[in-house]
Structures are given as C-alpha cells and as structure tokens.
A and B are shown apart, each in its own frame.
Chain A
C-alpha cells in the first residue's frame, strides 16, 4: 500500500479546544468555520473568530497538520459581500484550503486568490466525475467531498476518471443527503442549512417531558416523542416520526450514524484520498474520542490491510457517541445502484 498516497484523516472543530483535541489525537487535517452564516454549522457560541483561527492555525501548523475552512453555504444577492469577505479573511489568515459550494464564490476565490487551494464542499452536491472535472477545469479545485449517496463502486468509478482528490465521509450524523438542496428545515422554521447555515436552529427547538414521553417540537410542530428507554436523535424534520396511513414511524429516515470503519481497506484500495469525520457541533471530547479511534484504525490498515478488521473496542467507542439507535454503512455498501 506504500505506493498509494496516504489517506488523510479530516476532523471537525467547532472550537479551539476541539481543534487542539483533533490535532493531539492524530488528525491530519482539521476543518472549521467562521462565526456566522457563511458555514453550515452556524450555531450560537460555536466556531472561530479571527483570533481563534490564528491560534488554531499556529497550533496545527506547528505540528505539521492542515486547517481547512468551510465556506459551504450559499450567499444571496443582498449579502454577497459577507461571503467574499470571509474568503478574503481566510486567505489572509493562511488556511490550507477553502471548502466551497457556491459557483460564484469558487469563481471569486479563484480570481482573487489564485494560489489558495480549493475543495468542493459536499454541499456542492457533485456526484459524477463529469461535474467534478468541470469544477476542476473552471476553478482548479484540488479536492471534492462526495455526497453520501454513492455506493463504493460508484465512488471508485468517479476516482478512476478524475485527477481531483476524492474525500468521503467516514463517520458521524446522517441526514436525507439532498445536500445543498434540502428545504425541510426552511419549510418548518424559515431557516435553512444552505443559506443560513443552520438546520433546525436552536431557537425553533423545544423539548418537553410529558406523560407520554419526551416530545420534540420544531417551531411548534411535534416531530417526535421518545419513550424513556429510546435513544434520542437531533431534532430535524427528516428524522421525525410521523403518522402515515395510520402507522406512526420514521417516514423519511431513521436516526442513525454513518460508520464506515469496516470498509477502510476497500476505501484505501480504490484511492480515496481523505476520510472526513462529521461533528463540528460536538464537544472537544467527542472529537478526541472519534479521532483517536480512526487514527488507530487507519494506521492498522496501513500496516496490514489484508488482515484489517475493526476492533470491538473501536466500534463500542464509536457507537457510544453515535446519534440514534444504530450505525450504518450508508450508501457505500448496497447491492442496488
């Protein structure tokens, strides 16, 4: 396997302590965002101001790690300058790459900061090598993060037909994966992940303990009710339980977490360049726990891919921090296409 480029572990950071936890536990790269709607984890008290970013960059670079800045939401006509301003601030700070989704911003970054490395965000929703090669040709992107809708065979097909490095999600929360185009949160709360950077904004969420169980309401709409013994999930419409034809169930999708640890040898073999861990909204301890397990797994896979199998204690550690009742291989492993 030494002939292949090493697989990078890309870990989330919502705060400076989380960035340091990622670096200290073996992340090759950390991704983060500014404290506003220019990124898709725009939550109160989360993310980086210029001072925290400068300190984060100093910490990561001193240890030979990279920092990517996510500018993965879509500007509107009346706020365009906030996003281009964010591109300029990130370039000036010296981030190692920008993760962009919007065509206009990709163009702006390419023209104004031609030496800055650009990654196409999962929010850009490019699933074919034709689309990815177009982004390469027009904006010289060097990496694309694939939406979580492709099987591993389809990912291999993309990799075989592009020079762009391919990054995929390996672990963390899943949603309906209409990435960059989902309007469920906007429909219920008026706030969307795509333009406002927040799916199910906290101001619209209420939890209430009732005689029937814990109720979750999103802008007043009852979206789930948990019995005391049930694990809870994030308060998003896609993971709510609804009554359809007199049956109440997860009508859109069940709350589960992606965990592709067991596919690691195949992912390396087909030439995936980086594995991304979801969870910028989580605490530093989550980042530490998950990074540690994935670092150990990637190193074990690199040493002896033929005999790699996930250790039970790795899976237990990851299951402990997962959302919902179970974990899944997502679309990566499925017989149909």
Chain B
C-alpha cells in the first residue's frame, strides 16, 4: 500500500463517531496496550515513565468515537475498567494522532490550534509527550505505518530482541 508522504487534513465522517462509541472499546484498547507493552523496555524507556505508575489514562479519538482507557503499572500497560475518571485524558482526531505518531506535527502546534486537548494531570501529559519526543526512532514515514511494512518492522524488532537475549 502506497500512502502520501504527508497526511492530508481529514476528519472521519460523522458516522464513525456515532457508531464507534456504540462498539466495544476493548479490542482497540487491547491492540494499543499490546503495542505499548511490546515497545516497553525497548523503544519506550521505563525509567522516565515511573511517575505514570498507578495512573489511569484515556485516549479519546473524537472522530472515530473511540475512548481507549488503560492504566500503567509495574507489569506494564493494562486495560482499565469501571467508571473512575482517568488521571489524564488526551483527545484528538484520528488524523492528528497519526500525524503525532509519524512526527509530522508538534503537540504544542496542535494544542494552539485547538486540535489536541488534554484534561486532568497536565504534568503526566507533558511527561508522555517529552518521553516520546526523546525516543530515537528510525525515521517513521506514513508508508512505514502501512500494515505490511509495520509487521515486517515488528518482526525485525522481535527477532533482534530474541537474538540479543532480551
């Protein structure tokens, strides 16, 4: 799959938000925390994330009707259930989360433009942002996020980790 080099500015049709919020949120949450747990201790360093221990986080993808609730503990990320409010909620559109992931947009720029909202413990949000910014990623392009390339990359990371005995 060939993707454009820069993300176009899109919002998912309203349909997604209306129906997305009626769908079970657990499968996408599990997908996210699986990815985070795979990265933890490898790409994602544990030490700077210590202030997140015991905290409940929520990622709200507004135009997809998704709210992914999870918590961080000694054993990594896990889904978070119940009605307790998250300690930190980050809200943005699908497009802007993807742009952040691909390092095409600066979080402060999105905040100034009112495209990224942060509610709750701001300090946790800043820590997450700065920790992610400090990670030296191999250059992530949109094409590298396409499923086939991403899987291939994941395989390389995992085989590298096995070979190094991690």
Chain A residues with CB under 8 Å of chain B are 14-18, 43-46, 52, 201-203, 205-209, 214, 226, 228, 230-233, 281-286, 289, 320-324
- In the bound complex, residues from chain A placing their C-beta under 8 Å from that of B28 are none
Closest to B109 in A: A321
Closest to A208 in B: B119
Closest to B134 in A: A15
How far apart sit A284 and B127, CA to CA, in the bound complex (Å)? Answer: 15
Report the minimal beta-carbon distance from A47 to chain B, rounded to whole angstroms.
Answer: 9
- In the bound complex, residues from chain B placing their C-beta under 8 Å from that of A286 are 106, 108-109
Across the interface, A207 reaches (CB within 8 A) one of B112, B122, B127, namely: B122
A-B contact pairs, 22 of them (CB 8 A): A17-B133, A17-B135, A18-B133, A44-B123, A45-B129, A45-B131, A52-B134, A202-B123, A202-B125, A203-B122, A206-B122, A207-B117, A207-B118, A228-B114, A231-B114, A282-B108, A283-B103, A283-B105, A285-B104, A285-B105, A286-B108, A321-B109
- Tell me whether chain B's interface is mostly helix, strand or loop, or mixed: helix
Closest to B130 in A: A45
Number of A-B contacts (CB under 8 A): 95
Assess whether B103 is in contact with A285, with CB atoms less than 8 Å apart: yes
Closest to B107 in A: A283
List of 7 A-B pairs having minimum Cβ-Cβ separation, nearest first: A45-B130, A286-B106, A202-B123, A15-B134, A283-B106, A205-B122, A44-B127
How far apart sit A211 and B118, CA to CA, in the bound complex (Å)? Answer: 16
How far apart sit A43 and B130, CA to CA, in the bound complex (Å)? Answer: 9
Report the minimal beta-carbon distance from A332 to chain B, rounded to whole angstroms.
Answer: 23
Closest to A35 in B: B48
Known contacts A284-B133, A285-B104; A232 and B122 CB within 8 A of each other: no
How far apart sit A44 and B118, CA to CA, in the bound complex (Å)? Answer: 16
- In the bound complex, residues from chain B placing their C-beta under 8 Å from that of A44 are 48, 51, 123, 126-127, 130
Across the interface, A323 reaches (CB within 8 A) one of B112, B126, B127, namely: B112
Known contacts A17-B134, A207-B117, A214-B117; A43 and B108 CB within 8 A of each other: no
Question: A43-B130, A45-B133 given. 15 additional CB < 8 A pairs?
Answer: A16-B134, A17-B133, A44-B130, A45-B127, A45-B134, A203-B123, A207-B117, A232-B111, A232-B113, A281-B108, A283-B105, A283-B106, A283-B108, A322-B112, A323-B112
Assess whether B133 is in contact with A320, with CB atoms less than 8 Å apart: no
How far apart sit A107 and B70, CA to CA, in the bound complex (Å)? Answer: 51
B 44-60 binary contact with A (CB < 8 Å = 1; else 0): 00001001000000000
Known contacts A14-B133, A15-B134, A206-B122; A45 and B109 CB within 8 A of each other: no
- B136 in the interface (beta carbon within 8 A): yes
How far apart sit A231 and B109, CA to CA, in the bound complex (Å)? Answer: 10
Assess whether B114 is in contact with A230, with CB atoms less than 8 Å apart: yes
How far apart sit A43 and B122, CA to CA, in the bound complex (Å)? Answer: 11
- In the bound complex, residues from chain A placing their C-beta under 8 Å from that of B120 are 206
- In the bound complex, residues from chain B placing their C-beta under 8 Å from that of A209 are 117, 119
How far apart sit A236 and B128, CA to CA, in the bound complex (Å)? Answer: 21
Report the minimal beta-carbon distance from B114 to chain A, rounded to whole angstroms.
Answer: 6
Closest to A231 in B: B112
How far apart sit A288 and B120, CA to CA, in the bound complex (Å)? Answer: 30
B 127-150 binary contact with A (CB < 8 Å = 1; else 0): 111110111110000000000000
Closest to A255 in B: B112
How far apart sit A202 and B51, CA to CA, in the bound complex (Å)? Answer: 13
- In the bound complex, residues from chain B placing their C-beta under 8 Å from that of A320 are 109
- In the bound complex, residues from chain B placing their C-beta under 8 Å from that of A289 are 106
Across the interface, A324 reaches (CB within 8 A) one of B109, B112, B117, B122, namely: B112
Report the minimal beta-carbon distance from B63 to chain A, rounded to whole angstroms.
Answer: 15
Assess whether A285 is in contact with B106, with CB atoms less than 8 Å apart: yes
Assess whether B106 is in contact with A17, with CB atoms less than 8 Å apart: no
- In the bound complex, residues from chain B placing their C-beta under 8 Å from that of A207 are 117-119, 122
Across the interface, B112 reaches (CB within 8 A) one of A18, A45, A232, namely: A232
How far apart sit A283 and B109, CA to CA, in the bound complex (Å)? Answer: 9
Closest to A228 in B: B114
